[in-house]
Structure 1
Amino acid sequence: MANVLSTGAGALIAFQRALATVSHNVANVATEGYSRQRVDLATRNPTDMGYGYVGNGVQVADVRRVADQLATSRLLDTGGELSRLQQLSALASRVDSLMSDSATGLSGVWSNFFDATTGLSSNASSSAAREEVLSDANALANRFKQLSGQLDSLDNEVNSGLRSAAEEVNRLGAEIARLNGEISSNPNHVSNDLLDQRDRLVSELVGFTGGTAVAQGDGSLNVFTAGGQAMVVGNTSAKLTTVTDPYRPERLQLALDANGQQIQLNQTSLGGKIGGLMDFRSDVLDPAQAELGRIAVGLAETFNQQHRAGMDLNGQMGTDFFSLPAPKVNGHSGNTGTGTLTASVGDLSKLDGQNVLLKFDGTAWSATRADTGASIPLTGTGTAADPLVVNGVALVVGGAPASGDRFLLQPTAAAAGGIGVAIDDPSRIAAATPVKAQADLDNVGTGKVSGIKVTDAANADLLTPADIEFIDATQYTVNGSGPFTYTPGQPINANGWSLTLDGVPAAGDHFAVGRTGAGSSDNGNALKLSNLDDAKALNNGTVSLNNALGGLTTKVGSAARQADYAAEAQQILHDQAQSARDAISGVNIDEEAANMIRFQQAYQAAAQVISTADSMFQSLISAVSR
């Protein structure tokens, strides 16, 4: 009878624990990261009665957490990569919106400016047309500055994102290390909910850094970043800190403090949201800013060069139309010498906007790409007479650089934010060709001036009057110098100008070349200015400014779309990994309901056993008491 009572009581307790576990599962059906639990029942040790063994009922052997390490690891892998791609896609899409939207992009104001120069070429003496050119030029320069400012703001957002992410990573890492200590101190008696809590924290940490977790024999989890850096080892966590870029103090980078050492991390060391921020900065933001600056440099250099070859309404040679900052060169914070580098654009056609690292070994300079480390051809010695030349940029060395000193050249990164209009007086727009030519009225040949253009605006004799006299149909002199051979159809060149004739000049014919003068309505230079957007000034003379502008918009849009497509594909992989994990560890309400009914019935049956035992005991008491 006592055996029956003990068996019933044990069963009652066991099924009560089973019902409690089912209730716990149902209560956490919507809890993120929860792994369902299952009660494992086992028979008690039987009693040897001499004639055989008599069973003693049931007991709870274990309350087990249903989880699969492979499914969890796959979920971590896909989750970290998804966080990286979503972060990259979100930020790249913002740059795409800036560049492609008509309200914020360059295309509209760019077209307006060149339309205005075309209007000026139709009426070069018009004050209204000149005012419009200046107004649209200022609007274009301001748009460059606005876009550059927006990109700088995104760079600051990356800094803020890295700073806040580092704080969150450190908090999560410390908490995981603490839980590792609790779990490893008694690995055989660990709360299942504590394991779920740790898995959730690991998932959040990997969402910031990428990577995975590796289980240890004592039950602890070691967490590594996507690049293999250890973030948590046992009950010790590394500390992620922000440090200033040694070349660009306005920009933050990440470093890992571990075992008293600081390890600077590059973009390959981290995945997750932090990796997305770093990838965006290096793969989208920096190239966009560099190309935007290259277009600004291309516009300013080509327009200024042509503008200097014209004459304004005051009868003066044109000056720079746009102002532009020099390429940026920053020394490494660890440099020990006093050397400086002063940069200027030397060859626009070779300017590619790539950041370049320059290093001095004590005797010579070398150049490598900042992003890949690939070697770049470098010529010159660094003097003013023989500057260093790399990718179309000329650099003059000042001071005394020490061996090992390094410098970062950013050829175009600051150009868009610094471009401006250098003139504010409409009359100073050099719309006219500075020299004009005409045939003498007494000429007897059929030669007529078909065109004159400036070939060297810096020539000191450009505006000096010149008289071209033909000795015969194939020879001529210029101000008495010569004779020079004349080939029909070929230009006559002198003093920085080039003259073309139609017809056939005769002996004694004269052609006069002289200064255009103030107040001219000549539109020769305005015509050239209006067509500069189609001038193939970039990429060794193969790409026009218009093509470069379109290429920038296309490149940014393509990067944004690729990041978006990759994020969508990774979302599918992550959803599949989540489904695989949920199929193993997730709570199934139907299954739990069936278990609840089954355990409830078993509980009631156990209660009936106890009731039967009680009736037997009461019957025995009654029989004895008679």
Structure 2
Amino acid sequence: MAGLNIAQAGILTTSQNVAGTSIEGYSRRSANVTMDSLAPNSLMHNGSSFAVEGFTRQYSSLLNGQLLNQQAKSSYSETLVQYTRTIDSLVADKSTGLNTAIGNFFNAVGAYAADPTNKAMAGAITGTANAVAQRMSGMSTLTTQLQSDARKGLVDTVAQANTLLPALASINQKIVNATSPGNTAPSADLLDERDRLLSQLQRLVGGQSLINSDGTATQLVAGMPLVERAIANKITINSDFEHVALTFNLQNGPDRGVLTTVQNLDSGQAGALLKIANEFVPSINRQLDTIALGLVKVANSAARTPAAIAAGTGTSLAIFGFKVGSSTYSSLAATDPTGGIPEITSDASMTAIYDSLASPANLLTASGLKASNFISIAPSNFLQYFTGAADGGDPLITSDKANTLQQLSTVFASSASNFVNDVGVQVATWKSNQKADSVVLTTLKSQRDSISGVSLDEEAANLLKYQQMYTASTKVLQAGNQMFNTLLSIMN
């Protein structure tokens, strides 16, 4: 009978293991067999006695903790690469990149400087200016869409996490109930479900997963608990989309929660989306805004007299501008209500503009003078490059001014190259991190599977072994039955 029980327990665990191969996070089970007087239900202390002591969940807490942490890192880097793939390819493409269009514009200005009376050369300025505006608009639209997608993704991520938090708290309560007096330990299915929920939370919001001594789980973010045993808190998103917050003490009622802001998340999908929306995209926009302001400043100054520039008055010829509502702005003199920007003479001038845009006191972008509103207002009638458009008089942009403008091409080429390099280096770094994280995650999964994973070949061999054991035990019982029947027949 002991043999039959052992074989039956082995067949049971084998069937569970085979069925568990299709379940993510399933941990292999095995039956524990004791012998002689060590068997807790043994009636014989001086011979051979066997019994099934219980079932073991093949599990490594060390590997599981490492795997959970790595899942958060991998999800973080994978999300960064996934969301920035499009903008990386667009920026790096010379046929669609902003730096190529800016280079063509200054080349057209240089060609015009050699022959300022040539109307075709003037027309080339308009054509290349339109291309710059189109590239700038396309890039701004893409960054706006990227930020919008990141924020929508953050909302979805938080919503998913908020459905998992009470589920984990419920599993924790079931684990506590299973370890109450009369029960030796929670079932392996509860523990597997606990780990699956922790894995999903790590992918979504990262943080730290702790397994308590009673088998329950605690999920922390920035040192604050999302789930503490049977208590689940709630994640919310601040109205500025720059931070997430945790609402605590929900066990006292949904309207009695205490809101605490989490300053940053450095892992998980939510952490990556916050970084894209609040760091990566704003940095790109500042660089684009800097280039747009610089182009308006230098290109439009080429056709203005020093007196007009000093007075901050309008210009008789403008190449670039900003369309804000129904108004078009093309003057950025220091006397403007927006505060203006300094003269651009070197890379340091562009850096100064970039730094000033980060200041809360900056009124330029707040007034709508930014890359998303950047347009080309170069005249489509090429005669307007000259005084007396009807008969084509003197050029409004002289050869000297065109040369001065063309000499600034290196400044803008440097700014455009820095923009391309910054985006490319950042995305390349994230791609490299993703590959490294993927390798580490694969290695940890392989190590976990070597302990907790199910091998169908091994289970097939075990099934055959237990079947033979069951058959042998049955034959022993049959032989005993025949023996007793024979003895009874003799006695009768």
Tell me, yes or no, whether TM beats 0.5.
yes
Whole-Å separation in 2 of the counterparts to 1:181 and 1:356: 49
Paired residues for 1:455-474 under 5 Å? none
Instruction: Name 2:328's counterpart in structure 1.
Output: none
Cα 1:591–1:414 shift into 2, 3 Å: farther
Whole-Å separation in 1 of the counterparts to 2:220 and 2:369: 38
Instruction: Name 1:262's counterpart in structure 2.
Output: 259
Please tell me whether the aligned partners of residues 534 and 546 of structure 1 are also in contact (alpha carbons under 8 angstroms).
no
Cα 1:209–1:533 shift into 2, 3 Å: farther
Is the helix fraction higher in 1 or 2? 2
| SS class of match (1:345) | coil
Cα 1:297–1:424 shift into 2, 3 Å: same
Residue 31 of structure 2 corresponds to residue 33 of structure 1 = no
Residue 57 of structure 2 corresponds to residue 60 of structure 1 = no
Please tell me whether the aligned partners of residues 83 and 273 of structure 1 are also in contact (alpha carbons under 8 angstroms).
yes
Instruction: Name 2:376's counterpart in structure 1.
Output: 421
* One-letter identity of the residue aligned with 2:299: F
Give the alignment partner of residue 354 of structure 2, picking from 331, 352, 355.
352
Cα 1:141–1:570 shift into 2, 3 Å: same
Whole-Å separation in 2 of the counterparts to 1:195 and 1:414: 57
5+ residue gaps, structure 1: 1-8, 246-250, 327-341, 359-389, 396-408, 433-517, 537-542
Residue 204 of structure 2 corresponds to residue 202 of structure 1 = no
Cα distance, 1:321 vs structure 2: 3.1
Deviations 1:511-569 (A, max 9, x none): xxxxxxx8445586245336635428xxxxxx711111111111111111111111111
- TM-score normalised per structure 1: 0.66
Whole-Å separation in 2 of the counterparts to 1:139 and 1:323: 14
Instruction: Name 2:165's counterpart in structure 1.
Output: 173
Residue 111 of structure 2 corresponds to residue 238 of structure 1 = no
* One-letter identity of the residue aligned with 2:191: L
Give the alignment partner of residue 294 of structure 2, picking from 295, 298, 308.
298
Whole-Å separation in 1 of the counterparts to 2:458 and 2:126: 76
Deviations 1:486-530 (A, max 9, x none): xxxxxxxxxxxxxxxxxxxxxxxxxxxxxxxx8445586245336
Residue 416 of structure 2 corresponds to residue 525 of structure 1 = no
Cα distance, 1:599 vs structure 2: 2.2
Give the alignment partner of residue 574 of structure 1, picking from 435, 438, 441.
441
Please tell me whether the aligned partners of residues 430 and 526 of structure 1 are also in contact (alpha carbons under 8 angstroms).
no
Kindly tell me the number of residue pairs found equivalent between the two proteins.
451
* One-letter identity of the residue aligned with 1:555: D
Cα distance, 1:172 vs structure 2: 1.4
Paired residues for 1:89-128 under 5 Å? 89-128=81-120
Whole-Å separation in 2 of the counterparts to 1:56 and 1:598: 21
Deviations 1:35-77 (A, max 9, x none): 11110112444446xxxx4557432211111101110000011
Please tell me whether the aligned partners of residues 28 and 57 of structure 2 are also in contact (alpha carbons under 8 angstroms).
yes
Residue 189 of structure 2 corresponds to residue 193 of structure 1 = yes
Deviations 1:172-206 (A, max 9, x none): 11211111111111123422122112211210110
Please tell me whether the aligned partners of residues 89 and 564 of structure 1 are also in contact (alpha carbons under 8 angstroms).
yes
| SS class of match (2:52) | strand
Deviations 1:92-140 (A, max 9, x none): 3322212122343213332332333334334434444433322332232
Instruction: Name 1:589's counterpart in structure 2.
Output: 456
* One-letter identity of the residue aligned with 1:566: N
Please tell me whether the aligned partners of residues 120 and 126 of structure 1 are also in contact (alpha carbons under 8 angstroms).
yes
Cα distance, 1:281 vs structure 2: 2.9
Instruction: Name 1:220's counterpart in structure 2.
Output: 216
Cα 1:578–1:140 shift into 2, 3 Å: same
Whole-Å separation in 1 of the counterparts to 2:369 and 2:233: 37
* One-letter identity of the residue aligned with 1:258: F
* One-letter identity of the residue aligned with 2:260: I
Aligned-residue RMSD, C-alpha: 3.1
Whole-Å separation in 2 of the counterparts to 1:75 and 1:617: 58
Deviations 1:267-304 (A, max 9, x none): 3x351111111222344222111101111111111112
Give the alignment partner of residue 319 of structure 2, picking from 299, 318, 321.
321
Cα distance, 1:325 vs structure 2: 6.7
Cα 1:163–1:46 shift into 2, 3 Å: closer
Cα 1:176–1:605 shift into 2, 3 Å: same
Paired residues for 1:537-616 under 5 Å? 544-616=411-483
| SS class of match (1:344) | coil
Please tell me whether the aligned partners of residues 317 and 396 of structure 2 are also in contact (alpha carbons under 8 angstroms).
no
Instruction: Name 1:404's counterpart in structure 2.
Output: none
Cα distance, 1:427 vs structure 2: 5.5
* One-letter identity of the residue aligned with 1:211: G
Cα 1:344–1:31 shift into 2, 3 Å: same
Whole-Å separation in 1 of the counterparts to 2:147 and 2:375: 23
Is the strand fraction higher in 1 or 2? 1
- TM-score normalised per structure 2: 0.83
5+ residue gaps, structure 2: 250-256, 308-313, 325-336
Please tell me whether the aligned partners of residues 39 and 64 of structure 1 are also in contact (alpha carbons under 8 angstroms).
yes
Whole-Å separation in 2 of the counterparts to 1:322 and 1:138: 9
Please tell me whether the aligned partners of residues 119 and 383 of structure 2 are also in contact (alpha carbons under 8 angstroms).
no
Using CA pairs below 8 Å that are at least 6 residues apart, which structure has the higher relative contact order?
2
Whole-Å separation in 2 of the counterparts to 1:293 and 1:100: 19
Instruction: Name 1:13's counterpart in structure 2.
Output: 5
* One-letter identity of the residue aligned with 1:255: A
Whole-Å separation in 1 of the counterparts to 2:152 and 2:359: 26
Residue 156 of structure 2 corresponds to residue 164 of structure 1 = yes
Which moves more between the two structures, 597-606 or 563-572? 597-606
Whole-Å separation in 2 of the counterparts to 1:229 and 1:354: 36
| SS class of match (2:96) | coil
Deviations 1:138-166 (A, max 9, x none): 23212211210110000000111100000
Cα distance, 1:424 vs structure 2: 3.5
Please tell me whether the aligned partners of residues 116 and 397 of structure 2 are also in contact (alpha carbons under 8 angstroms).
no
Cα distance, 1:354 vs structure 2: 6.1
Deviations 1:211-267 (A, max 9, x none): 231112322100113x2231111112221122321xxxxx56422212211222333
Please tell me whether the aligned partners of residues 129 and 319 of structure 2 are also in contact (alpha carbons under 8 angstroms).
no
Please tell me whether the aligned partners of residues 224 and 232 of structure 1 are also in contact (alpha carbons under 8 angstroms).
yes
* One-letter identity of the residue aligned with 1:275: G
Whole-Å separation in 1 of the counterparts to 2:172 and 2:288: 50
Which moves more between the two structures, 57-66 or 74-83? 57-66
Identity percentage of aligned residues: 25
* One-letter identity of the residue aligned with 1:239: K
| SS class of match (1:147) | helix
Please tell me whether the aligned partners of residues 116 and 129 of structure 1 are also in contact (alpha carbons under 8 angstroms).
yes
